[in-house]
Structure 1
């Protein structure tokens, strides 16, 4: 851990939980994790040594002067809850490395163990047939069967067999290997909207996460983002439906008319 992580502070934390988030499908994890980090205003704790995991593919030039290579940041923050409640460590990874993902997951777990984390949380998207106008449910997955009981009691959906891609999923497996309890909260995202950032699902995750962690955060701004996103999805769906109708109706009529005209021309020009 010493060579791969720079420690910036050594606070005494009370039974801290950890939230970890990387970019993923619909950017659900990053939206939820980054919003909580922004609102809690946590203090810097540590950072992963980026050059070990990332290879820059170029440099920026400003006013003809070359800048130093830039790397994605992978940072840890800590936040102290009110006395008697569990503190929190938040890890935000700006990007997922193209290789060494397993080692990256172990590096994050190293920091978790260093500061006494007993339970770790990640977020992800659950691609379903939900319509964009529906309120997304939150699914739950955990590294041990006993952890699922609390998730069921909170109304989370038990999706059965599924795959959680990327480091938002891999971290759970590494936590299980190292006997740290870990839970993933997955927000439902329409399959047809998987490429678009989805603060609607992130809001559902954040609401559930805060209840589980017993942490208070003002979610008003995230709710506004979710409302705006719902409006954009509605507009996109209407536009797509309009294109669909145009393609399968008007072009057919036009083609039919042209074909009749062509047949008449052929009859007129054919030899007797």
Structure 2
């Protein structure tokens, strides 16, 4: 971990859990992680030395002056729960590196072990045939059979065989290699809306996450974001459906005019 992670604080934490999030499909993980960080207001704990994992591809120029290269931030935070309850470590990565992802996952687990993390959580999107107007369910996956019982008790969906892409998934595999209990909560997202940020799925995960982490978070703002996003998606799908209908159908009145023109201009017509 030396040279890859910079430690900013050394708090004494009570059997902490960890939630790690990177950008992914529908940005579900980052919406969840950043919202919890916004509401809990955690303190800085550590950070990943960015140049080790990221290569800048250019620089910004402002008023003709070149700025220093900018790197994505990958930071750890800690939050103290009420006495007797488990504390929380949050890891938020602004971006996923194009290489050394396995090494980055090990670095995150190094920090988890250093501060005595008992269970690691990630979150992601579960692409399904759900309609955007439906309430998304939360799926669960875990590194041990015993943990699955906890997920079933929370009435999470056991999706069976699936693939969790990117570091939000890879981190679980590395946690299993390192014998650290880990869980992924996946919010349902429509296949046709995978490119759009989905705070509705993030809200469903956050509600489940509150119970599993034993924390209290005001979700009112996230509910507003979900309602606004649902409204925009409804407008977009209605517009797309209108375009589809216009492209593959022809109004009756236009069809009649075309038929008359064809009859008048036909080879057998008499003028």
Shorter-chain-normalised TM-score: which range? over 0.9
1:52-67 to 2 correspondences below 5 Å: 52-67=52-67
Instruction: Verify the 8 A CA contact 2:263 2:269 in the aligned structure 1.
Output: no
Residue in 2 that maps onto 1:153: 153
**How far, CA to CA, are the matches of 2:259 and 2:59 in structure 1?**
57
Write the mapping of 1:144-183 to structure 2, written as runs, cut at 5 A: 144-183=144-183
- Structure 1 residue 100: deviation in Å? 0.8
- Alpha-carbon distance between aligned partners in 1 of 2:269 and 2:92, rounded to the nearest angstrom: 73
Q: What residue in structure 1 maps to residue 89 of structure 2? A: 89
Unaligned residue ranges in structure 1 (runs of 5+): none
Q: Distance in 2 between matches of 1:67 and 1:177?
A: 41
Q: Distance in 1 between matches of 2:231 and 2:190?
A: 15
Q: For 2:58 and 2:262, how far apart are their aligned partners in 1?
A: 57
2:109 aligns to what?
A: 109
1:205 maps to 205
User: How far 1:228 sits from its partner (Å)?
Assistant: 0.6
2:231 aligns to what?
231
Aligned counterparts of 1:66 and 1:41: Cα–Cα separation in 2: 33
Q: Structure 1 residues 191 and 252, CA, compared in 2 at 3 Å: closer, same or farther?
A: farther
Give the aligned partner of residue 79 of structure 1.
79
1:239 positional shift: 1.1
Shift of 1:240: 1.5
- TM value normalised by structure 1: 0.95
Query: Counterpart in 1 of 2:36?
Result: 36
Q: Distance in 2 between matches of 1:263 and 1:178?
A: 78
Matched, 1:128 2:132: no
Q: Counterparts of 1:259 and 1:94 in 2: how far apart (Å)?
A: 59
Deviation at 1:258, TM superposition (A): 4.1
- For 1:26, the equivalent position in structure 2 comes to 26
Distance in 2 (CA, whole Å) between partners of 1:2 and 1:11 is: 19
Give 1:261 deviation, angstroms.
2.8
Q: Is the 8 A contact 2:16 2:86 kept in 1?
A: yes
With over 3 angstroms needed to count, the CA separation of the structure-2 counterparts of 1:149 and 1:253, relative to structure 1, is: farther
Partner of 2:265, secondary structure, is helix
Task: Name the structure 2 match of 1:2.
Answer: 2
Q: Distance in 1 between matches of 2:75 and 2:12?
A: 18
Shift of 1:263: 6.3
Cα offset, 1:265, TM superposition: 2.6
Q: For residues 252 and 99 of structure 2, what CA distance do their matches in structure 1 show?
A: 49
Distance, in Å, in 2 between the alignment partners of 1:56 and 1:252 is 57
Over 3 Å off, 4+ runs: 251-260
Residue matched to 2:69: 69
- Describe the superposition over 1:65-117 as per-residue Cα deviations: whole angstroms up to 9, x where unpaired: 11000000000000011111100000000000011111111111111111111
Q: CA 1:252/1:97 → structure 2, altered by over 3 Å: closer, same or farther?
A: farther
Give me the whole-angstrom Cα distance separating, in 2, the residues matched to 1:259 and 1:71: 63
Write the deviation string for residues 103-145 of structure 1: whole angstroms up to 9, x where unpaired: 1111111111111111000000000011111100000000001
- Distance in 2 (CA, whole Å) between partners of 1:230 and 1:262 is 46
Structure 2: which 5+ runs fail to align? none
